[in-house]
Structure 1
């Protein structure tokens, strides 16, 4: 390595950037593990940005002629030297990144901007529609974006504040199911697994910073192609977390694998941080997984102590006392007090008209009751203890009572009670209670991806196809283990596909009145099969005729809208009923709100000079909780909404502070200033519970830091 470093220093004298690139690659090699999971972390990754305006200094690719498919030579990168207009056509002078001596002029419409993941980005968000049926509830958010860049953007709004991340990443089947550097990764690619791991690691490291370190969970589903490598990658990225893997049957009919066993399962990794752990459930997900809610009931225990030890009178003399039974009615008259160990029970005089029942075993040996007289009197009064039978001839009685967890649940009102039965004890009805610990093998009929993924999606989007959507109820159950006690949880899915995670969060909210919000990130990729036909029509990425068939616009957004409204994109009521846990017509929809955005790429100079506020405004709203009115314009100098305020003209600070103090639920104040003194003066005037954020330095710094980390990886 020392010789390599010497050579790199020599190169630096002639080409500083080349030396920097070489140093990054040698650092990556030096960082390889002697043991564990090794892969090419330095494999470059870049993404095309169709529709992004071409600007000076941008990296670009030259698009193939309309009607033609991309070729290998089309993957070269060029840098824009300048743009200009000539005869009504916009042109760009470009030079090759790998050979600055090579360059020419290209029509701007034939260029697409490319972002490498070590380049700084300055994202914005543009709203493309919304659905409002949830009153003042927070908004679910859908972002059309490259998910790596979306994760960087979310670090500005949700760093350390996410409760759960659920992702269903590409399974790397080799069947053109995902792209790396604008190329589909196929089964004959020798770097197929390395590319997949590099792609996943970059995103998982960003996801780690989003999650609340004290109590949160990352959930990743995968099949047999990559589950072993994924397990090692998770161990290496999240060594401090508790990691478990669950095997879940998602296709009982089986998926054929050539001459191999027919596959019925997938694997779910749970990466639990801090205090996070799975809640108890109404089912163990294995033995009682009949697809319907398993009803819990109480167990009435015998009051007389049984067993091989600790059951005799002598073991606990205070547990030996009489229960007086009415001769006329055969009911409990009263409960006596313990008698000394040396006293003969026959010397106890029962109240008139009663006889004494003692804790005697079948051989008439003296035993003991399991609770004190005062406790028994209390439980008899409330109906959680009762006389089942009595035998005056032998002086014994059978008393039943509720103990421990059952007693606590009944007293808390968790069980439904319908009066008392003939014995006088509470008539406790079977109730859906989460009392079981789930197992690591799931055999839930509701998790069948064919019936409750593909078929269910077709009800909301008739005639629209999406490959292998998850069962809605599988995602719902998986999340429930970790957000059931968090009604305000934030859940992120940055491989959101058809939008199942957002749909599942809405189901969970309906079941317990929660205000959970989801953030779904998906791109607008068009499938490989559809691309061929669109190219034959002369279309290219970025054209409206191309983009309308992308995942986000064609599937994700309309699915979430249909779920909320209960109406398909064609205007028909959604046909069918939801099942499991919460049964109701799909056409009812949900009382939820959702807004759809597209991620944009802005100029740092324009942002810092306050010329792109409308693109930055959604980030401020998201950071403040994505609820209530959004501040999209501050031409008046300042504005205060439900959860946050923004001030750009600090001469109006007195009015702004008064408005902030008058808004009860306000949590953030965004202050536009470059001057430290003015910012600090504003901070001193704000209420203590309001978080001050400095624009635009905090925004710009966030993305510069993330770009630096990406370059180092």
Structure 2
């Protein structure tokens, strides 16, 4: 029912006008008022935390990273991660619901049908909230991959342009997911074979992709040029040029080696994107009417091969306009080759891939019979590997069957990497407990004839701390419930001591104390415990003061970093939930 604006007070009308004026003039606009999610109402009374399910922990190799699986609504999980992992994630991959109208997208516990008037608005509202939180988690050189099909591709692109910035769209990959000609439905006029993957950097100037490379080929360096006379010296383009007419020079072809030259045609894109090509186009191409045919030009001050000059041959026929230029191996390449380590030549990354065979044989990947929307691990490994580093943290907050976790473990096995994953999924139809978790367990521990891939996993569920009229009461209660969040934030999980007022954790030479009490009576005992331990130390300590800890309480705590709780958690939640 439409609002009757005639009954609004002046101040309320001004707010409506300000809201209308603030709306963007270009981009996506959807009805947000009619598409509120249930969690938005729930969060008015409770704030999310994490609780570990100890019985589901998997630990097979303490030297490997600790991977994380969070069961719960991904908005709540992302809210928690905005405290634990802000600016820490290298790679995001998500495969969100495609909103086909065929019971693939639930909104407020109901499937969104094709004829729903607010179908696209609901999906956009759903995605916008989550992508904005997810962007906060990316490192400045981080990258996000988002799978989608054409049901929401155009809307998603506009949304991501708004969130990440249009300039940060690196590319769109087109993925063939079905074999052509295998549709059994004769009623279809068209057969959809392609899905898309949008690739956005947080800052495209900081992200450098892992481009395909091959060994630098020296077989083409096989030409030697012999000058028989001194030649005629002229100036072209402010460069010294020596001209050799036919008979005054000789070009011989010999057995390839790094001291010879390579011939390259000055044509096509070379004329615009290459210094030598540009020089040929601007100064040599039209000189056949002046110098004649089959002329050799020795141009000084061009090239990266350290020779100091570059040879060009002009056209050999009256009807021709193109010629060759001869270059040596660039100095950087020569140094790499002479070091004995070889030299790699990079190629551009293409944006079409045929994975139809992988999609067709995906059913039992990870030892779990799950078909709905599952993505092949080979595809995900390819995407993750576009990040150059082998120790990246990978987030998937639409984890579903756990393909991303499987891909990370498999990729580490392939290249001896040290990547870690963080998966978030709800448990609708028991997908987390009966599909995602068992699949990761199968991969880590091995299943049937598939060998185990060593790794570790911690399993958490989202829980809630009820809001309170008393701000101090809320601070005390959330402090008592935030231990797992702090462990996750620091990556320190092994509890070595638990007292009523404090706990102590240790991991890989790092030590963390968490002090819960408003009273300071047990601080001295905690300090004694920490003093006995060797390693990097950090203390999270409760305080009511929003400005932080009283330094007088910690005057003699040398070598211990201090972090107040829970104010930073509440500050982040206030931005997200406006509680």
Structure 1, unmatched stretches of 5+, are 13-18, 49-113, 284-294, 318-329, 333-362, 377-399, 416-427, 527-549, 568-572, 576-586
Task: Provide the residue aligned with 1:516 in structure 2.
Answer: 419
Task: Please say if residues 251 and 265 of structure 1, whose CA atoms lie closer than 8 Å, have aligned partners that are also in contact.
Answer: yes
Aligned mate of 2:191, from 259, 262, 274:
262
- TM-score between both structures, scaled by the size of structure 2: 0.72
Shift of 1:301: 4.8
- In structure 1, C-alpha distance between the alignment counterparts of 2:207 and 2:551, rounded to whole Å: 41
Does 2:138 correspond to 1:211? Answer: yes
SS in 1 for 2:57: strand
Shift of 1:661: 6.9
Task: Provide the residue aligned with 2:211 in structure 1.
Answer: 281
Shift of 1:217: 1.3
Task: Please say if residues 74 and 398 of structure 2, whose CA atoms lie closer than 8 Å, have aligned partners that are also in contact.
Answer: yes
Structure 2, unmatched stretches of 5+, are 234-239, 243-254, 258-293, 308-326
Does 2:154 correspond to 1:228? Answer: yes
Instruction: Kindly provide the CA deviation profile for residues 408-438 of structure 1, in whole angstroms up to 9, marking residues without a partner as x.
Output: 54456654xxxxxxxxxxxx9xxxx683221
Task: Provide the residue aligned with 1:57 in structure 2.
Answer: none
Aligned CA distance change for structure 1 residues 407 and 46 (closer, same or farther; 3 Å): same
Alignment of 1:71-470 (within 5 A): 115-116=41-42, 120-127=46-53, 129-212=56-139, 214-239=140-165, 241-243=167-169, 244-253=171-180, 256=183, 258-274=187-203, 275-282=205-212, 296=215, 298-302=217-221, 403-404=330-331, 406-410=333-337, 414-415=341-342, 435-443=346-354, 448-451=358-361, 453-457=362-366, 460-461=367-368, 464-470=369-375
- In structure 2, C-alpha distance between the alignment counterparts of 1:4 and 1:684, rounded to whole Å: 62
- TM-score between both structures, scaled by the size of structure 1: 0.59
Task: Please say if residues 466 and 498 of structure 1, whose CA atoms lie closer than 8 Å, have aligned partners that are also in contact.
Answer: no
Task: Please say if residues 607 and 696 of structure 1, whose CA atoms lie closer than 8 Å, have aligned partners that are also in contact.
Answer: no
- In structure 1, C-alpha distance between the alignment counterparts of 2:541 and 2:142, rounded to whole Å: 31
- In structure 1, C-alpha distance between the alignment counterparts of 2:192 and 2:226, rounded to whole Å: 48
Q: Decide which moves more: 253-262 or 194-203.
A: 253-262
Task: Provide the residue aligned with 1:492 in structure 2.
Answer: 395
Does 2:384 correspond to 1:479? Answer: yes
Task: Provide the residue aligned with 1:504 in structure 2.
Answer: 407
Task: Please say if residues 132 and 592 of structure 1, whose CA atoms lie closer than 8 Å, have aligned partners that are also in contact.
Answer: yes
Alignment of 1:655-674 (within 5 A): 656-657=526-527, 666=536, 668-674=538-544
Shift of 1:277: 3.2
Shift of 1:241: 4.9
Shift of 1:252: 3.1
How many pairs does the alignment contain?
Answer: 486
Instruction: Kindly provide the CA deviation profile for residues 307-364 of structure 1, in whole angstroms up to 9, marking residues without a partner as x.
Output: 99xx9897799xxxxxxxxxxxx9x9xxxxxxxxxxxxxxxxxxxxxxxxxxxxxx99
Task: Provide the residue aligned with 1:539 in structure 2.
Answer: none
Task: Provide the residue aligned with 2:252 in structure 1.
Answer: none
Aligned CA distance change for structure 1 residues 700 and 260 (closer, same or farther; 3 Å): same
Aligned CA distance change for structure 1 residues 631 and 249 (closer, same or farther; 3 Å): farther
Shift of 1:589: 1.9
Task: Please say if residues 247 and 441 of structure 1, whose CA atoms lie closer than 8 Å, have aligned partners that are also in contact.
Answer: yes
- In structure 2, C-alpha distance between the alignment counterparts of 1:223 and 1:145, rounded to whole Å: 25
Task: Please say if residues 306 and 331 of structure 2, whose CA atoms lie closer than 8 Å, have aligned partners that are also in contact.
Answer: no
Aligned mate of 2:483, from 589, 606, 617:
617
Task: Please say if residues 223 and 266 of structure 1, whose CA atoms lie closer than 8 Å, have aligned partners that are also in contact.
Answer: yes
Task: Please say if residues 98 and 151 of structure 2, whose CA atoms lie closer than 8 Å, have aligned partners that are also in contact.
Answer: yes
SS in 2 for 1:515: coil
Shift of 1:673: 2.6
Task: Provide the residue aligned with 2:9 in structure 1.
Answer: 9
- In structure 2, C-alpha distance between the alignment counterparts of 1:218 and 1:172, rounded to whole Å: 20
- In structure 2, C-alpha distance between the alignment counterparts of 1:312 and 1:305, rounded to whole Å: 17
Task: Please say if residues 539 and 562 of structure 2, whose CA atoms lie closer than 8 Å, have aligned partners that are also in contact.
Answer: yes
Task: Provide the residue aligned with 1:680 in structure 2.
Answer: 551
SS in 2 for 1:219: strand
Task: Please say if residues 45 and 117 of structure 1, whose CA atoms lie closer than 8 Å, have aligned partners that are also in contact.
Answer: no
Aligned CA distance change for structure 1 residues 296 and 44 (closer, same or farther; 3 Å): same
Aligned CA distance change for structure 1 residues 133 and 47 (closer, same or farther; 3 Å): farther
Compute the RMSD of aligned alpha carbons: 4.2
Task: Provide the residue aligned with 1:697 in structure 2.
Answer: 567
Task: Please say if residues 162 and 489 of structure 1, whose CA atoms lie closer than 8 Å, have aligned partners that are also in contact.
Answer: yes
Aligned CA distance change for structure 1 residues 316 and 685 (closer, same or farther; 3 Å): farther
Task: Provide the residue aligned with 2:26 in structure 1.
Answer: 35
